[in-house]
Structure 1
Amino acid sequence: MGMTVKLEGGTGYYAASGRQDAPGMVVIQEWWGLQDQIKSVCEQYAAAGFDAIVPDLYAGVVVPYHDEEAAGREMDALDFLSATDLQVKAAADFLARPGRKIGLTGFCLGGIVSILGAIRLDVFAASSCYYGLPSPEQGKPADINIPIQGHFALGDTWCTPAMVDAFEAGLAAADKQFELYRYDCDHGFFNPDIKEYDAASAALSWERDLAFWAKHLK
């Protein structure tokens, strides 16, 4: 089980692997806030051999799954660039130690932040993004500085296939190191607590995710 910890400017949920040589993992929430499900993802990473932390970007606000209107308000009120520069950096600083590599991953809202962190912060060795992309005004594919993996849904009406295609074209044009995967399901497919969950896609993306980290963090 994990625990709540203090970070510079806020708090986070931390799960330790119990390994002295564990790489670090910063996990970023969906638009629902620091739900139990995202805490469980942190614990999944700990069980897989990572010391993992989720910074609380909503400062204690957790939105019920049925209330998409409230989730939208909270997400729209978030300063993504500031959250990346301050709260995500604070989570990475919590994990930092000499010789340790740290990864960054995020879902939905957190997918946007996982790309922004790959652009704006120099503390991560690689980043994995689930069904969320920043606007061109927030950050461009050409500005990404580390290897990227992406997991996207063909049925997504928020992070649409057209957005993913444009993102992939930008990565390729800039000769970035990337892996992008598309799944025949809907936005949110990794979250077992919502109706869009797709077990097969979640399992396959997790397998690819761990292989990516094995390549870049260990």
Structure 2
Amino acid sequence: MATSDLKKILIQREDIASFSYSFLVGKDDAPGIVVIQEWWGVDFEIKNHAVKISQLAPGYKALIPDLYRGKVGLDAAEAQHLMDGLDWPGAVKDIQASVNWLKANGLPKVGVTGYCMGGALTIASSVLVSGIDAGVAFYGVPPPQLADPAEIKVPIQAHFGELDNIVGFSDIKAAKALEEKLKVSGTPYEVHVYPGVTHAFMNTSPEGSARRKGMGMVDDNEAAADLAWSRFQSWMNRYLSV
């Protein structure tokens, strides 16, 4: 299965008349997972992740909501501009609509995962979105005005790189602060920190690796990504099995 297998669909939010383009891949009878984009938008790497998720045993149906409505950042400056302009509460509503769509189409269990900006939105959704059964967040914590991780309502797993230098968002201090919040949430949780790797360590495709190196991330991250995928699979299998 390749990214060309992604099917473009339309999902309507209940609060507005417009539609959100989304991308769908995977088995029809499998549990659903909403896959939330990095700051780049719905580009090759988030599609790679969705296809990978759909192929993990026992199989999942992965749905990517396009939070930027078709826009994609071609460099870091443009991606930063797009993320700065994001309506974060609106993005949470897009995720709610995606969860609702999966459940309305016969999927009794739905998880949420995301990377960077999408990791922060995964945690926020685990507080604010109804119908989620589990979440896995990669290197991102939401701003406190959007969501308080101490109020998370579903089992959550989080992954961070030890050398991540995005202060207050995904660095080691942010990871430890998140863990302290999760301790008081009363929900099952895991926080994993991977030695010797920086931000976006899950991006191991040739294009993703080249982009990371162009941004100064020269760590060898494949072993960390493989371990994180294994932990992701175990977590989702535990909480999304029907």
TM-score, normalised via structure 1 length: 0.93
CA distance in structure 1 between the aligned counterparts of 2:185 and 2:134, rounded to whole angstroms: 17
Structure 1 moving runs of 4+ over 2 Å: 173-176, 194-197
- Structure 1 residue 5 and structure 2 residue 6: aligned? no
**Are the equivalent residues in 2 in contact too, given 1:81–1:116 (CA < 8 A)?**
no
State the superposition RMSD in angstroms: 1.3
Counterpart in the other structure of 2:65: 55
**Structure 1 segment 1-218 matched on structure 2, within 5 A:** 1-8=5-12, 9-18=19-28, 20=29, 22-48=30-56, 49-64=59-74, 67-85=75-93, 87-97=94-104, 98=106, 100-158=108-166, 159-184=170-195, 185-192=197-204, 193=208, 194-195=211-212, 196=217, 198-218=221-241
Post-superposition CA distance 1:64-95 (Å, at most 9, x none): 2xx2111111001111112112x111211221
**What are structure 1's unaligned runs of at least 5 residues?**
none
- SS in structure 2 opposite 1:189? coil
CA distance in structure 1 between the aligned counterparts of 2:129 and 2:96, rounded to whole angstroms: 7
- How far residue 99 of structure 1 moved from its aligned partner, in angstroms, is 6.1
* Counterpart AA for 2:64: V
How many aligned positions are there?
213
- How far residue 7 of structure 1 moved from its aligned partner, in angstroms, is 1.1
Counterpart in the other structure of 2:15: none
- SS in structure 2 opposite 1:96? helix
CA distance in structure 1 between the aligned counterparts of 2:111 and 2:83, rounded to whole angstroms: 23
* Counterpart AA for 1:92: V
Q: Percentage identity across aligned positions?
A: 31
CA distance in structure 1 between the aligned counterparts of 2:184 and 2:95, rounded to whole angstroms: 28
**What are structure 2's unaligned runs of at least 5 residues?**
13-18
